[in-house]
Amino acid sequence: MAQSTAGITLYYGTSVVTDEVPAEPVSWTALTDITSTPALSSSPAKLDSTTLAETVQKTYINGLQDLGGSFEFGANMTSALVTAVALAAADAEDGTARAFKVSFPAPLSKGYWWTGTIDNVAPGESSVDAVATTTLYISQATALTAVDENEVS
């Protein structure tokens, strides 16, 4: 069964970091008014590994993943969003990191979380007879971790 976009939710939480390894937060807070999510995966760079002996075609190996600096989430520009993002953008305490998760409801029932930082929001482009929108920019400091989930607290 195909996954509907209805019910997809973006969250933030606080990750406890032990020996430089962040743990999944025990609780999450929703970032409201999200209207779109970016692709959460990227293709790695392709590194040319062709030897001088090759006479037919080049060969490649995978290099580093590059998300282009940050994930970009579309959102309606609301007071609730501005407040939630300000809380999520606050500096993490020593021994912790800010974590973010995109949660997909059933039938996928998966969450994908990472640590990073979020920039405070400002209004995006506006036009006549439209909803004011913005873009959330969330960096990625750690790789995505997939988790099975039924409910998020």
- Topology, domain 9-38+67-148: Pnp Oxidase; Chain A (2.30.110)
42 has pLDDT over 60: yes
pTM: 0.84
So where are the chain's domains? 9-38+67-148
Is pLDDT at 70 greater than 90 in this prediction? no
If you ran DSSP here, which 8-state letter would residue 123 be given? Answer: -
What pLDDT, on a 0 to 100 scale, did the predictor assign at position 40? 86
Selection from 10, 9, 14 nearest residue 90 by Cα: 14
The rounded percent of the chain whose pLDDT value lies above 90 is 74
Answer yes or no: are the C-beta atoms of 94 and 32 closer than 8 Å.
Answer: no
Cβ 3 vs Cβ 27: under 8 Å? no
Higher-scoring residue by pLDDT: 12, 65: 12
Q: What is the pLDDT of residue 2?
A: 87
- Asked if the model's pLDDT at residue 68 lies above 70, the reply is no
**Cα gap 82→133, rounded to integer Å:** 11
| Backbone φ and ψ of 86, nearest 5° | -60, -40
Element of type H or E holding 120: none
Sheet with strand 71-76: strands edge to edge: 34-36, 71-76, 133-138
Retrieve residue 87's tokens.
């809380």
Sign of CA dihedral 73, 10, 40, 119: positive
pLDDT of res. 152: 52
Please, which pLDDT band fits residue 65 given cuts at 50, 70 and 90? Answer: confident
pLDDT band (50, 70, 90) for residue 151: low
Mean residue pLDDT of the chain comes to 91
Q: Work out the burial of residue 79: count CB atoms within 10 Å of its CB; fewer than 13 is exposed, 13-18 middle, 19 or more buried.
A: exposed
**Spatial contact of 88 and 110, defined as CB atoms under 8 Å apart:** no
Q: Is the pLDDT of residue 72 over 60?
A: yes
pLDDT-derived band at 64 (thresholds 50, 70, 90) equals: confident
Distance CA 59, CA 55 (A): 11
